[in-house]
Structure 1
Amino acid sequence: MKISDLLLVDNIQLNLNATNKSEIIDQLVHTLSENGYLSDEAAYKQDIWDRENTISTEVGAGIAIPHAKSAAVKQPGLAFGRSLEGITYDKEKCHLFFMIAADEHATNEHLKTLSKLSTYLMDELFRAKLILATSPEEVLEIINQKELEEEQESAIVEESVENSSKDTFLVGVTACTAGIAHTYMAAESLRDAAKSMGMTMKVQTDGSSGTENELTPEEIEQAAGVIIAADRSIDTSRFAGKKIIETNTKKGINHPKELINQVLAMPEPDLSTVKKKVVEEKKDSKKNGALSIYQHLMNGVSFMLPFVVAGGILIAISFMFGVDAANPKSDQFNQFAAFLKTVGGEAAFGLMVPIFAGYVAYSIADRPGLAPGAIGGMIASMGGSGFLGGLIAGFVAGYVVVALKKVFIKLPKSIQGLSPVLLYPVFGTLATTIVIQYVVNKPVSHLNEGMATWLTNMSGSNAMLVGAILAALLVSDMGGPLNKIAYAFGIQMITSGVYEPMAALMCGGMIPPIGLGLATTIFRNKFTEAEREAGKVAYVLGACFITEGVIPFAGADPLRVIPANIIGAAVGGAMSMAMNITLSAPHGGIFVIPIAVNKPVLYLVCILVGSAVTALVAGLLKKPIAQQSLEVAI
């Protein structure tokens, strides 16, 4: 698709009749609306202003590119305005104004075409031709000619990358928040600057249409340096050992030569120091107490969850045949329901604890810890200590094997070869299972029985308090340690035959994303365009019981969003426990409610009430976005 397919003659104004930024935006928005690109002119204008209030689209060199992805756009399009005298946009006078309208579901092809224009504007000759154009038709001809030149140059660029020496080759990554304009402008500016300095540069762009021009390991290895010009987090681990500069897209656009000179002037990293640092970081992570324990725990949870989810949902499906359909002594007995109950309850849940314990030990001691951990977890499960016993088994096995490694390293090399398949499994398993069987199982099984009895007999305000606390803990750190502790407690109760806590937990976990999505819909003036877009996704994530969908909001405004999450979740969890709602599937969100919840309608009421509370609290706490540009890096 060509730019001329999106920029028509009727969308070009060579003599803007405007005196300030507001009038420029009004005129360009009206042009797009008048020519059939918008379904709601006012809504699109608001989206443009939301984008401006987040990050100004004045990009230097006399250019401004106001743009937005909006539900008010019927089809992607461009509007172009020019002022020979210049109009102050934010900090400086601008002469060229391109307004980009992208609909919410714009294809990659459309986004690439719109982004292409941004790169062309980095060319001084191209800008000069636009300033001198005498008609809209001439503007389109200038753009078409530029597209043709770019096609011819692309093959030359690829060849120059292949033939470049290490001293004359650089790589980079650019990424902006919207991913439509500044990502590509920074990339083009860096490439052009490198070319003018007799060098070649390959730049990976992480834009709204995905990653393009992706850097290969060979290219990174060949490069004399790396420049990251991004307004969001970029993983730099693959550039370890390279000279690297990290900055924002604004500097990438306006000061590319300065960045190139800086990275070239940097001293070569000492590779031995880099490797030593990596080794030390690995050692530190294993010595770092609480953090290390949390990482090992999360490794076990990640491998366990598929077994938990599969088993829970299959058990829930068996209930569709009747509450007692899996019981051979019941009139409701159904052979297939009994099979599902066996697969979910005995097979999947039976493997849950051993898998968890095995991979906790694996995280601590690598592969030699897997068998002792899994077998220790099985002994814990068989001995009644369940999930808590499995957790202890994982850590015991892991550290036992770590100790054995230190002991066995003193053995003759001929015997050390037997360690992975004989010594670690045998001695590690023996030590772990002795600890679990004779030290852990009895007291922990009594603890489990006590908690199950306590929760089963709980009613009224006590039940509401437990539900509120569990739900609040689950959402307090959005996937962190408190979240996992609360969730692990719910799983432990399911294995003990108590299903109310898990209902309160899933209710609480679904509420924050749905509540924040609701807040972005009701209190639109208190959220940026990007946040309102994230709000639409949050509805879906919340419905799927993915609490992490609220992280973008909490990261941007933690002091207001996190309390709203906790209050809403606590209300929903308390209501769920007070109504004695049970959940037999530990995951699945809205998809398992009809089959795994004993009171699905009331459960949905709990979720909706909690979500409304979160939305209301967030809406009351957050302040409206000021109608002015923020002085932040583009």
Structure 2
Amino acid sequence: MSDMITADLVDLDLAAATKDEAARSLAERMRALGRVTDLDGFLADVAAREAQMPTGLDGGIGIPHCRSTHVTDPTLAFGRAPSGIDFGAPDGPADLIFLIAAPAGADDAHLTILSSLARRLMNEDFTSALRATPSPATAAALISGDIEPAEAVAGDAETAGAATAYATDVLAGQEPGKPGVKPALEPAAARGAGGPAAPAGAGAEPGDAAVGGPVVSPGSGDGQGQGEKPFRVVAVTSCPTGIAHTYMAAESLEKAGHAAGVEVAVETQGSAGFTRLDPAVVEAADGVIFAHDVPVRDKERFAGKPTVDVGVKAGINRPAELIAEVREKAARGEVTDTARPTPVERGGAADEGYGTKLRKWLMSGVSYMIPFVAAGGLLIALGFAIGGYEITGAKSVAEVFAWGDHTSWAALLFQIGGLAFSFLIPVLAGYIAYGMADRPGLVPGFVGGAIAITIKAGFLGGLVAGLLAGAVVLAIQKVRVPAVLRGIMPVVVIPLISSVIVGFLMFLVIGEPLARLQQGLTDWLNGLTGANAIILGVILGLMMCFDLGGPLNKVAYTFAVGGLANATDGSLKVMAAVMAAGMVPPLAMALATTVRGKLFTKAERENGKAAWVLGASFITEGAIPFAAADPLRVIPSVMVGGAVTGALSMAFECTLRAPHGGIFVVPLIGNPFLYLVAILAGTVVSAGLVILLKGMRKTSVVSPAAQEAAAEKPTVVAAV
């Protein structure tokens, strides 16, 4: 691991006020060594990962990380921030910052090394030594594993003396080297057993010792006599990136289990792949803990046992509580049967309302559908661009294909795209059902989606079929079956029975009303003119810009894409308005940072440069960094601009057959010049509003530019 971090990648006095500034400062060290090729592109990937889930951990640790095409070699940079930086941890700011950069195709060996670091972060001696060392070289050696924590502190007399002085200062509540000045953040060593780095003997997080139960030694747990087997738990941990939280949760659970006298075996489903737990270990387990933010793979292995299902950060922050909870479930005889695995993406968590569950189930279907949309829609658009709209009447290329005729190539692209598009509704329905009931929902979901196409129920039919399939599977799963049949339930019985029920309902009960409703929606879209069309454009523009790639944005986008499956003039206008409005937020932020850069921080000005490309490519998420930093000014501004663009696109009767592509598919747009005018108008309106609102700040509030200047002149700030 020594090739991943060197002294040049260590900053023991990280002068950053925000997590974006910290990431940029550490990433610049990576770029200086040639480890990062595109600084802004890499930071955008870091920000996108951070948007999925905060990377702050209890105990004063921040661990931003991502996989990026802009990284040449697996790299780790470390910064120590005495003033603390907010990474979203429950216990406050972080003073130990680790920036992990992995190439998009990082090999398993390097990811395994990164997982080793994540586990070491749960060791209090390790984090204390990092807080104490005054030497970047020592910190790099400690992180790489070349030296142990004790060696880092006592390497030689000078280092040991400096480390002792540092520790003495922070324990006394003073900033190191500045007697009488209390630091903004006390290291975990001064706070006492904080966060996941609490002593193993504690067995619980601060304040929840009562919840975690009595501390016992392995093999002698409460109620167990000498010679009796200990309580056994198997666990699965996973996170979206699969680099850090996955392994930190595993380490935390193992340490808490050891402290409580419980045998814990963990399967880490990380980016480096995963090795399945021995079936004998799973069979012998008394309980199961899932600490995950992505679906657990092969979950049926753990059926029939008491189960606790939480997010990965709960596995890091409160492992003793989870172990106590699974023991309580085992004592009550509460188990999950074979047919009731936890739905994908935490969609069926017991503590969530039905509205939240429904949103997650629908988003599950949409997320799997979008790649088919992108591939199929763009291929269809390319076919039109090359061969014209009459290409729809071309014969199958399997029967007639002329290698030198461009219309044959256009027909090939169009027909491939058409086949990809034909999967939209079955995939949508299948993965909605998957989001509700996991793999048993796939078969009835796909069958229901295919029936929706057959009976011309369209996009609405696919939505209903997916929800219906998931509900039927969940109902079947509630039926108690003999143990001898449990093995074939998810493979044979559930797919058979659920497909019959869903097929019956779709063909004979609800199919015809759905088809009429779909036809009515199509006719309404085709009849939209004048004020009605403009109002719809306003609504779609507001939805696209409200959460910048979130659920409401996806609802509007999915509505537009659904119309492309059976394209009409009205649905093509809707698609054009949706894409135009979605381009406005990042373009507006790019324009605003260019026109009035002093109203934005240095990091935001850098993000503004990337936002030009992101906006032009119809990547609405390019505005997220700006909205996260100043939501009350940015979000209303971009919503107004999006509404203007959506209304103008509808008023200009612009059409679009491609579901994605931004300005790169302008030649495929009806009325392309007016379409660009609509986008430009919305961009200018949003940028103007952002500049106006930011400029109206009270003079007592220090501007971002002034903050940066003040950071370079600390004596002036102190005087003020």
Contact 1:520 1:532 in 2 (8 A): yes
Is residue 422 of structure 2 the alignment partner of residue 350 of structure 1? Answer: yes
| Structure 1 unaligned blocks of 5 or more | 5-50, 58-65, 70-99, 113-169, 190-202, 231-248
In structure 1, the residue corresponding to 2:677 is in which secondary structure? helix
Q: CA deviation at 1:365?
A: 0.8
- Which of residues 32, 48, 56 in structure 2 aligns to 1:107? 32
Q: Which residue of 2 aligns with 1:55?
A: 17
What is the rounded CA distance, in whole Å, between the counterparts of 2:100 and 2:352 in structure 1?
A: 39
In structure 2, the residue corresponding to 1:334 is in which secondary structure? helix
CA spacing shift, 1:460–1:277, aligned 2, 3 Å:
farther
Q: Which residue of 2 aligns with 1:563?
A: 636
CA spacing shift, 1:556–1:102, aligned 2, 3 Å:
closer
Contact 1:372 1:429 in 2 (8 A): yes
Q: Which residue of 2 aligns with 1:428?
A: 498
- TM normalised by structure 2 equals 0.55
What is the rounded CA distance, in whole Å, between the counterparts of 1:405 and 1:303 in structure 2?
A: 24
Contact 1:358 1:374 in 2 (8 A): yes
Contact 2:81 2:97 in 1 (8 A): no
Matches within 5 A, 1:222-301: 223=123, 255=187, 257-259=189-191, 262=194, 263-264=197-198, 267-269=202-204, 270=212, 271=319, 273-275=321-323, 284-285=349-350, 287-301=352-366
Q: Which residue of 2 aligns with 1:60?
A: none
CA spacing shift, 1:569–1:108, aligned 2, 3 Å:
farther
Q: CA deviation at 1:261?
A: 5.8
| Structure 2 unaligned blocks of 5 or more | 9-13, 38-57, 66-74, 85-95, 104-109, 132-175, 177-181, 205-211, 213-318, 330-341, 396-404
Letter of the structure 2 residue corresponding to residue 185 of structure 1: R
Q: Deviations over 1:310-349 (max 9, x none)?
A: 11111111112112133249xx99333333222222x112
Q: Which residue of 2 aligns with 1:185?
A: 80
Q: Which residue of 2 aligns with 1:80?
A: none
What is the rounded CA distance, in whole Å, between the counterparts of 2:416 and 2:369 in structure 1?
A: 16
CA spacing shift, 1:573–1:67, aligned 2, 3 Å:
closer
CA spacing shift, 1:606–1:218, aligned 2, 3 Å:
closer
- Which of residues 548, 567, 573 in structure 2 aligns to 1:478? 548
Q: Deviations over 1:554-601 (max 9, x none)?
A: 12211111111111111111111111111111112223223x312333
- Which of residues 321, 326, 331 in structure 1 aligns to 2:392? 326
- Which of residues 402, 411, 414 in structure 1 aligns to 2:474? 402
Q: Which residue of 1 aligns with 2:379?
A: 314
Matches within 5 A, 1:74-223: 106-109=31-34, 173-174=61-62, 184-186=79-81, 205-206=98-99, 214-216=114-116, 219-220=119-120, 223=123
Q: CA deviation at 1:611?
A: 0.9
CA spacing shift, 1:453–1:283, aligned 2, 3 Å:
closer
In structure 2, the residue corresponding to 1:185 is in which secondary structure? strand
Q: Which residue of 2 aligns with 1:523?
A: 596
Contact 1:174 1:183 in 2 (8 A): no
Q: Deviations over 1:332-388 (max 9, x none)?
A: 99333333222222x112111111111111111111111111111110111111111
Contact 1:385 1:440 in 2 (8 A): no
Q: CA deviation at 1:285?
A: 4.8
CA spacing shift, 1:476–1:277, aligned 2, 3 Å:
farther
What is the rounded CA distance, in whole Å, between the counterparts of 2:34 and 2:451 in structure 1?
A: 57
Q: CA deviation at 1:604?
A: 2.0
Letter of the structure 2 residue corresponding to residue 430 of structure 1: V
In structure 1, the residue corresponding to 2:536 is in which secondary structure? helix
In structure 1, the residue corresponding to 2:533 is in which secondary structure? helix
Could you say which structure has the greater relative contact order, defined with CA pairs below 8 angstroms and 6 or more residues apart? 1
Is residue 611 of structure 2 the alignment partner of residue 538 of structure 1? Answer: yes
In structure 1, the residue corresponding to 2:390 is in which secondary structure? coil
Q: CA deviation at 1:455?
A: 2.0
Contact 1:324 1:333 in 2 (8 A): no
Contact 1:286 1:292 in 2 (8 A): no
CA spacing shift, 1:336–1:326, aligned 2, 3 Å:
farther
What is the rounded CA distance, in whole Å, between the counterparts of 1:334 and 1:226 in structure 2?
A: 66
What is the rounded CA distance, in whole Å, between the counterparts of 2:682 and 2:347 in structure 1?
A: 42
Is residue 406 of structure 2 the alignment partner of residue 513 of structure 1? Answer: no
Matches within 5 A, 1:36-47: none
Corresponding residue pairs, total: 452
Is residue 558 of structure 2 the alignment partner of residue 488 of structure 1? Answer: yes
Q: CA deviation at 1:418?
A: 2.1
Contact 1:174 1:186 in 2 (8 A): no
Q: Which residue of 2 aligns with 1:603?
A: 675
Return 608-617 or 254-263, whichever deviates more.
254-263
- Which of residues 621, 643, 650 in structure 2 aligns to 1:548? 621
Q: Which residue of 2 aligns with 1:365?
A: 437
What is the rounded CA distance, in whole Å, between the counterparts of 2:22 and 2:124 in structure 1?
A: 35
Q: Which residue of 2 aligns with 1:142?
A: none
Structure ID, larger Rg: 1
Q: CA deviation at 1:477?
A: 1.8
Write 1 or 2 for the structure with the bigger share of helix: 1
In structure 2, the residue corresponding to 1:388 is in which secondary structure? helix
CA spacing shift, 1:3–1:350, aligned 2, 3 Å:
closer
In structure 2, the residue corresponding to 1:613 is in which secondary structure? helix
Q: CA deviation at 1:531?
A: 1.3
Contact 2:434 2:470 in 1 (8 A): yes
- Which of residues 406, 410, 424 in structure 2 aligns to 1:337? 410
In structure 2, the residue corresponding to 1:586 is in which secondary structure? coil
CA spacing shift, 1:369–1:208, aligned 2, 3 Å:
closer
Q: Deviations over 1:222-246 (max 9, x none)?
A: 735896999xxxxxxxxxxxxxxxx
Q: Which residue of 2 aligns with 1:83?
A: none
Contact 1:175 1:182 in 2 (8 A): no
Contact 2:77 2:98 in 1 (8 A): no
What is the rounded CA distance, in whole Å, between the counterparts of 2:101 and 2:352 in structure 1?
A: 40
- Which of residues 497, 503, 507 in structure 1 aligns to 2:576? 503
Q: Which residue of 2 aligns with 1:126?
A: none
Quote the RMSD (CA, aligned, Å). 4.5
What is the rounded CA distance, in whole Å, between the counterparts of 1:310 and 1:341 in structure 2?
A: 11
Q: CA deviation at 1:479?
A: 2.4
What is the rounded CA distance, in whole Å, between the counterparts of 1:473 and 1:252 in structure 2?
A: 41
In structure 2, the residue corresponding to 1:622 is in which secondary structure? helix
Q: Which residue of 1 aligns with 2:658?
A: 585
CA spacing shift, 1:252–1:176, aligned 2, 3 Å:
farther
Matches within 5 A, 1:612-623: 612-623=684-695
Contact 1:285 1:292 in 2 (8 A): no
Contact 1:358 1:372 in 2 (8 A): yes
